[in-house]
Each structure stands twice: as C-alpha cells, then as structure tokens.
Chains A and B, each alone.
Chain A
Amino acid sequence: MARYVFKRILMMIPVLLGISFIIFAILSFSPGDPVMMMLGDNPDPQAYAELTRELGLDKPFFVQYFNYIASALKGNFGKSWITKIPVFDEILARFPTTFYITVGAICLKVLIGVPIGVISAVKQYSIVDNVGMVLTLIFASMPTFWLGLILILVFSLYLGVLPAVGAESWQNFVLPCVTLAIGSAATLVRMTRSTMLEVIRQDYIRTARAKGASERVVIYKHALRNALLPVITIVGLNFGVMLGGTMVIESLFAMPGLGTNTITAIRMKDRPMVMASVLYVAFLAGVINLLVDLAYAYVDPRVKAQYLRK
C-alpha cells in the first residue's frame, strides 16, 4: 500500500513540471512588459536595466525556467514582483479564506445533495422526484455568480441579514458557500439519484429483500453503501476543481482569497506570484485526488484487493 502511495506521489511530479512549464511559457511570452508595469511609462533607462537584471529577465527563456525550477526545488518560490514579499507568505496568508469557502461549500453540497438524490431515487416518479429533477435542472444551468448576485440582492440589500463583501466573520462566508454549494449540489443530486437507481436494480438488493429485511435496511445498509462509492470520487475530484475555481466567487464577494490574488497577479504580470498560485492549487488538487482514491479503496473491498496486490 505504501508503495502505491509513493508511486502516485512520484507521478505527480511530471504533471507539476508540465504545468509549471506551460504557465511559465505563457507568462513569459505574453505581450506586455512587467518591468514597465512596475516602473511606469517613462522609466529611467538605468533603473529599467537594473530591474530587468534583478528579476533575471535579461536571460534567455530556458535559463529563466531552469533557474526557477532549481530554486523552487529548494523551496524558494521567489518574491512577488509587485509587493516584494515572498510569494509563499502571501499565499499561505490568503489560503485559509479560499479553503473555508471551498470546504464550507462542499459540506453544504453533500448535506443537501446526497439526501435529496437518495429520496428521489427511492421514490422515483413521485412528487419529490419530479420537483427535484426540475429544480436541479434549473439550478445546474444558472451561472453561479448570478445566483450570488441574486442572493446578495435579497439577503444583503433587501433583508440586510448577511454581509455582501469582506471576510471578517463567519457571516461573510455564508453567502459565498451557499452560492457555490447550490449549483454543485444540483449536479450531485442527479449523480446520486442515478447511481442509486442503478444499485437498486441489482440482484443483491433482491436477495436482501428476500431475507425479509426492512426497506430501511435495504436502502441504507445495502443500496447506499454501494451507491456512495462513485459519489465519493466525484465529490473528491470536485474539491480540487473548486479550489482552483473560486476566482469568480471571491471576486463577487470581494473576499481576500487565493482567487482574487491570482487575478491581480495575472493582470500585473507578477510572474512569481502566478506560478506559485497555480502550482500550489495543482499540488493540492493532486494530493486530494490521491486521498480520494485511497478513501475509495478503503471503502470498496474489491478495489482494496487490487491495491494490495500492487
């Protein structure tokens, strides 16, 4: 088992390298001069040359890339070109906000999505099912930021019960989490429903009924245990995607998280900051994927057997 984990971690390395290369290349070859951005329109030629040298921008692309990787491997991801603070400090400072939003959204989404999905499947074609299906379609089609705006309109501006911007207290996190959760919960409902429906049709469910088990036992002990397996994978993968995609929500609610930070960094052509942000998120997503796979193996004995053989 440990060997498998180690192999997976090794496999993340080429992926991270690939990502770093692509992003570095895009940022390096894009139009716009970061040095000009920092010094203004009519920079003093000497200051310009000095800054260029300081940032290593006078060297050829591959040398720059190599230097970057070399120092990154030592743990040094550089200083932000704009703020001059080490990028990692900034990222770590902003990470909690993004993390709370994402975790809050995932919890809400699971708490709403899974029960509704299960009920829809068990009572197929009932009112709950039909209404549920219509609602999920509608919510899944809505742009999240629009939903966010409407929620702000109702709860902040009209009712005044929740704040719209900032990240001071837990109330600030309610609307962002709910916004992210609803759209995602809609997809989860459909997924859960469809796996449950499939599982309920299986022979072993019929065996359980033939034993005289009550319907509750049949659903929870037999059906749900099997249906949740693919759901775990999806939710886990979604976590990684959410971490990287909070930009729009953070922007909407003016929260000082990684997302807004990345947008600003890109606009200002702050290469070290962008690199570090992207790599950090990709790394976290990779780790989460690995954890999800391990969790899946823990829960599904057939998969566990495969891993132990490796």
Chain B
Amino acid sequence: MSDVLLSIENLHVTYRTDEALVYAVNGVNLNIMRGETLGLVGETGAGKTTTALSVMRLLPDKIGKIEQGKIYLDGLDITAATEADMRAIRGNIVSMIFQDPMSSLNPVLRVGEQIAEVLRIHNDKLSKSEVDRRVDELMEMVGLPKERKVEYPHQFSGGMKQRVVIAIALACEPKLLLADEPTTALDVTIQAQVLAIIRELKEMLNTSMLLITHDLGIVAENCDRVAVMYAGEIVEMGTVEDIFEEKDHHPYTVGLFGSIPDLDKNIDRLTPIEGMMPDPTVLQAGCPFYDRCPQRMDICNTEKPAEVMKGTHMIKCHLFSNVEKAANVEKVGEV
C-alpha cells in the first residue's frame, strides 16, 4: 500500500456563470501522505475551497466543472468515479468541514440525529442501539455532553456547533479530512479549543488532513507540510521547516510573511502586497503574480514558470529556474 493517500495532478476547474467563465484552479499538483496534515494557504479567491470541493466532487451543479486533471484518493480515480461511488465515499473515506458553523447544521433536526445520519448512510447493518452508542461516543470525543444530543442546533454556541460538525465528519473514521477554514468564524479562544480537538482526533484515528487557512500561525502549529496557493496555482510547497525557515521563497510567500506584524521588530507600518489578484475570468499566460511581484522579469509575463524542486521544497518561480538564472542579466522594475 503506497504512502500517498491523495494525489492531485494538473487540476483545472472552472465556474460557468451567466456573466463569465471563471478560471478558479489552473494546473494544481499536490500530494498528501497517509497521516500527514497539509496546510493550504492563500488569500480569499485563490482557489483553495474549490480544490477541496473538487476532491469531494461537490462543486456547484452545472456551474463548477473539472475541466482537466486527475484526482486519486487511496487508489480510486475521483475524477472518473460515478456519482454513486462518490456518495459511498463522502462522509466515509473523505469528509469535509466547512467554514461557517452557524449555518452548517440543519435547524429542524436534532443534533444527535444529524450525527447518526452519517453513520446510518455508510453502515446500514448497524442496529439502532449501536448507532445510539456510537453517537454518544462521538459526542464525548468532541467534548460535548451526550445528554445534549436531543437538542437542536440553535441551542448550541458557534464553537459547540463546530464540534458537532467535527463529530459528523469523523464519525465514520475517514482517511482524509478536508477542513476549510474551520476556525475562521470563531473567537480566538474557541479557535484554540477546536483545533486541539481536531489534532487529538487526527492522531487517534491517523487521519490525513488538508487544512485550508489564511492564518500562518495556525499553519505553523498544526501542519506537517504547507502549500501556498495564488490565483488558482500552487506557487510554493514544502515542509513546515522549508516554508518557515528556509531562505529561498516565492515572492508571494515573502509578501505573505511580510504582512504579518512581528513582535520582535519595531516598525511604523505593515508592508502589504501592492495591487489585487488578477481577474479570474482571464487566463494568464505567464506567472499570475506578475503584476504585483517586486522582482518580476519579462519572461514572467509570457511563460509559466516550471516547478523547481529543492529536496522537499518546491518553488514555482523563474527566479529559481536554473535556465532562467543563467540567461537573465537584467531585472526590470524592482520596487
């Protein structure tokens, strides 16, 4: 059995709306090993959620489409699977937790029933008492009193609702958990609690996780490897040490880290990254970061950079491509 649980190869995803065709994901390659946590970092609109939804094949019907590429989950070809196959895997082999716990639960069904539902879908042989027992177990695992399983979502706070969502996601002990900004909508103190629960359970069940976030602090604490995403492409990927400690980085990553206030430094202003993400309705021929890159070169506008590997560290930038380094004498527009 290979160590690679999830493999995404050259994924291209588009959204078709009345007004335009949006290129959300443009050639993403990434792997997740068994038991590891990959952090997926990037600004809003980078394509992180789209990537996760593609793994679950939950893109909005008729609007979202996987144009190209392959996704393999534990040997199964997700991109070619039938809807029936997918239903068997969702909630079972791969689960997803979404960003906003306030609206993720059905308001008219009891919380225990919503947890039981996922158990019954994938284990129809279980008796009622077995399901009940398992629901109780799960409630306790996420730190909720099992007596509250008869209550409705509106009777729980945001953090508690998110715990219910986690319980539902992990009920069938999936091999992969996709967590889309699971704590962004919560208070900072609750954030820490929820992340701790996720970490704990992940250890216990040896689940792999794709943790989507825009918070580098969360990445540092919870992830084994990190992928940085920009405008639908992965521009840098590596272990947590590679990303946080190595000196070579994609200019975008530099910008991301530069935007965080540093406790050790005494500065007057934060350094944001100038400009905005490119128009997603236009397919970029060159590097998507061209407009905002302080180190851009002519070639960056016309040719997509290759993925340059240095051990476990991948950077997709012309600056690090050997060919380009040799031939490049002048740099234009350094800011």
Contact = CB atoms under 8 A, between A and B. Distances in A.
Interface string A3-15: 0000000000000
Interface stretch (B72-80, B91-99, B195-203, B311-319): B91-99
Interface in B91-149: 91-92, 95-96, 98, 100, 103-109, 117-118, 121-122
B107 A212 contact: no
B154 A204 contact: no
A301 B107 contact: yes
Interface string B223-237: 000000000000000
For chain A, the bracket of interface size reads 20 to 34
Contacts of A211: 90-91, 117-118, 121, 168
Contact of A210 (B88, B91, B108): B91
For chain B, the bracket of interface size reads 20 to 34
A212 B92 contact: yes
A37 B155 CA distance: 65
A300 interface: yes
B108 A209 contact: no
B90 A299 contact: no
A37 to B, nearest CB: 57
Interface in A164-223: 202-204, 206-214, 221-222
Interface string A262-274: 0000000000000
A300 B108 contact: yes
B58 A208 contact: no
A206 B104 CA distance: 8
A213 B107 contact: no
Nearest to A203: B103
Specify the main secondary structure of chain A where it touches its partner.
Answer: helix
B95 A210 contact: yes
Given A212-B88, A212-B90, A225-B108, A207 B121 contact: no
A167 to B, nearest CB: 41
B103 A214 contact: no
A226 interface: yes
A32 B105 CA distance: 64
B216 interface: no
B87 A204 contact: no
B106 A204 contact: yes
Contacts of B88: 212
Contacts of B109: 221-222, 225
Nearest to B168: A211
Given A210-B95, A211-B121, A204 B90 contact: no
Contacts of A208: 106, 117
A305 interface: yes
A302 interface: yes
Nearest to A214: B87
Contacts of B98: 203, 206-207, 210
Given A211-B91, A213-B117, A226 B107 contact: yes
7 contacts: A207-B105, A211-B168, A212-B88, A213-B117, A213-B121, A226-B106, A305-B154
Interface of A: 202-204, 206-214, 221-222, 225-226, 229, 299-302, 305
Interface of B: 56, 58, 86-92, 95-96, 98, 100, 103-109, 117-118, 121-122, 152, 154-155, 165, 168
Given A204-B103, A214-B87, 6 more contacts: A203-B100, A207-B105, A212-B90, A213-B117, A299-B108, A302-B107
